[in-house]
Structure 1
């Protein structure tokens, strides 16, 4: 089959790779009908994610049709259309039983590698390194899905791939980011990063009752998309973001602040951002937390900072004194997608949320290498890429 593969920093190629097969009785194999390039994939593309091997199949936003079913699978049949969560979960461990599927204790066969970095291991993820399971990703013609009775959700008849695909990651992630802010009617929320997850977080915040949403970015197409949702846009190149948010909230700060950027903020021009960059380039630091600093400083007393942007290691100059003395709650985590699927599927079916707005570019797998570059470099108004094998 054809698949997009990692070939080193800045290089993705479309290659012929072996077809996946049923390996365990709980597996299914799907024929991929749609997949997407995620902002998290760019951390791999930029060489930030460790333990990637040349030839690894990429991708964790995937849906398709079931073509093979393992002997122990009871909930799916050949021919079912399904969306596959990016988090792989067993459904039976301590965390899965509590709905915290991204903390699954069984799905990461590379647990010991993850423990060297984080002292414990999260769940395995599709297409996201040999620290998180070494699972082949879904930017391919076919995908093996383990624990198939726990992960995939059936797509109702009449729902298009474009409507359903983002249930795999960015819609649940953006929704969780907003939910973490404990939004009450009339609240003000600030979202750093107007990429796909940030766009979902903006609309989710309004869905949950926010009255105002500040959208922070510098890319015109992203800011336009955020404005179309009703957000008040702030171009971080033109101002001190924290000062602007404090001014617009009467000095109080936002009720909730969402970091949808993570470790690789683009084109940040503040002094601390430049110092972060130097530290990373000289291997003194691992992450660039300028957005996290801003989110804490812009948050009101007893507010919430919600972090869904990906970080990998240790961060410097973390303003914990501000967070502690002002009673700020910090919530974060890889999204336990399975927990959100029934609710968010219902939002789409009932017409309360249409996730298709974010799609700007489409292509085939062979177009993937060029579209990775367009997405990373924000060329041609590229906000979200969908691939159809």
Structure 2
């Protein structure tokens, strides 16, 4: 493993920053303290800072040895927000804010990019500019979209943008990246079926919306098995059904909510259309009415081929070809997808291990739960900081040292 010496030397200090962020988690668009800390560190290292994009976003600007005169630039992104959940860990850096927790490792993502920023500012071994994007509100707020709306790519013109997420369940020392869809779109639906309530002993006097809802839920599964192409991925999950207040009362209405995940817009269009047809058609057949709502949240995360292959080669040089593996697509969603609609780039995974790192803290305090994302026992593995930072530095240096082909594939939204 080829780690950068200066990053290794400074890793303990960056780990302390990471644990400070972990102890003070902040939710979507509320990351004031975190943004202040990031901006203060960048300023301390002589990096100019731009603030306010996406409310609490921070952009650090590192010019290379040419002072950025080449005009070439690359973007590196980390997310900074936490989740609205209670932490079960009791180690010294556990959350001090009840109901808020860094359970997805955004504290670690921030730390890895800060470690890279420190090295890049100290050495500037590249021609061009590296934009360090510290993005708020990934967990449901669409902070990437908001930064773009506020002018991220118009104020800071970059050739490509790259993101990285820690991935528990893989051996530390591995990376994963692939071209094409690697994370799914995230969408929500809400259906309210209205019938006619009445006495449970006299169902013929009303229109019961509950069996209507049951038929609709069953019908949704035929979309996946009989309408969608079998080779295309799609998930419809009904996660909430609400109806009634008493056992002897047929309710007036029944509400269904859930999520839809796909890797392509074509599949998403099909699923939304068929869900509406089934919900409205079944309701009408039973004499009920239906209000159908479908909200598209995050688009699929789609890596462009040249950039994904470039990342894989950088990874292989650091950890060896056998440890730069193919990225298995996941139905989880990521708002970095908005950036990849505008700019070519790639979103990769860095292995977070299996949780053994949590035993290193004095007095334990991590409990025995699994170390998985969005779990109250989760904690980021600080051993990743030198590795992730080395990857960021080498990616920036090598990208700016080579001219990408002008005819490489671009995302659909690029140039709009």
* Same structural fold, with TM-score higher than 0.5 when normalized by the shorter chain: no
TM-score by length of 2: 0.27
Larger radius of gyration: 2
TM-score by length of 1: 0.28
The higher relative CO (CA closer than 8 Å, separation ≥ 6) is in 2
